Amino acid sequence: MSVRRLAAEQPDGFQFNPENRKWADAQLKKYPAGREQSAVLPLLWRAQEQCDGWLPEPAIRHVAEFLNMPYIRVYEVATFYTMFNLEPVGKYLVQVCKTTPCWLRGSDELERVCFEEIGSPESISSDGNFTWRQVECLGACVNAPIVQINADFHEDLNSQSFRALLSKLRAGETVTAGSHVGRHASEPVEIEKSANANEKSANEEQETLQFKKPE
């Protein structure tokens, strides 16, 4: 398990913006009276979103005050869950799955692309666009190898398609999440090939029958 510390440089303060404050007030109503502190995870997550993908110390403190919780308890939550980024990250957070199915399907190649295109893990690329890290199973092994970029899964990648994907993001182009080999959901990759093969063999059979008919 990695050591997770707060960033050395922190902003002066944090407040939910009016929209998020309204949203946070509404979250509290989801919980029974006296159990509002159960909203700590979604509130920290919203604070992270408001801070461009990372969770500064003043935001942790603000959530603690908002929920009337001891600061240390919110600090424990923020430093325990790796979905909370304690340091600033790039515009796109690239999470490369390195667990066995993705590894067997080429995640080493994707990691190499990250080193070449972005730099060392957890650093922000020089253009501010990317931060990348290695993660464990993202729960979509059937479409391995998988890379999560912000909230989206990109599937069935190889080094070429992954490099092209990063280029598009860098250029500000819209990208489509999901399979990068064009398959629907997790259907077998061979389905089109099999369908074509079946069609071909049916046609050949038909031709043979037609040829035999005159006899």
CA-based torsion, 90, 92, 93, 98: positive or negative: negative
**Candidate residues 53, 101, 106, 119; the one interacting with ligand FES per rule CB under 6 A:** 101
| Residue 198: how many other CB atoms lie within 10 Å | 10
Between 10 and 150, CB nearer to ligand FES: 150
Query: What is the C-alpha separation between 213 and 188, in angstroms, rounded?
Result: 38
Residue 135 contacts ligand FES per CB under 6 A: no
Considering only 78, 144, 157, 169, the residue that binds ligand FES (CB under 6 A) is 144
Q: Does 93 bind ligand FES (CB under 6 A)?
A: no
64 lines the binding site for ligand FES (CB under 6 A): no
Report the residue from 64, 86, 97, 118 that binds ligand FES according to the rule CB under 6 A: 97
Give the gyration radius of the chain's Cα atoms: 24
Beta-strand pair 152-155/178-179: parallel
Q: Could you say whether residue 140 binds ligand FES (CB under 6 A)?
A: yes
Two tokens, residue 212: 């035999």
Total residues at the site for ligand FES (CB under 6 A)? 11
The DSSP symbol for 116 reads H
Applying CB under 6 A, among 137, 158, 161, 183 the residue interacting with ligand FES is 137
Map residues 102-121 to x or -, x wherever contact with ligand FES holds by CB under 6 A.
Answer: x-------------------
For residue 91, give Cα distances in angstroms to 24, 63, 123: 24, 24, 12
H or E segment to which residue 154 belongs: strand 152-155
Q: Which residues form the interface with ligand FES (CB under 6 A)?
A: 97, 99, 101-102, 137-141, 144, 146
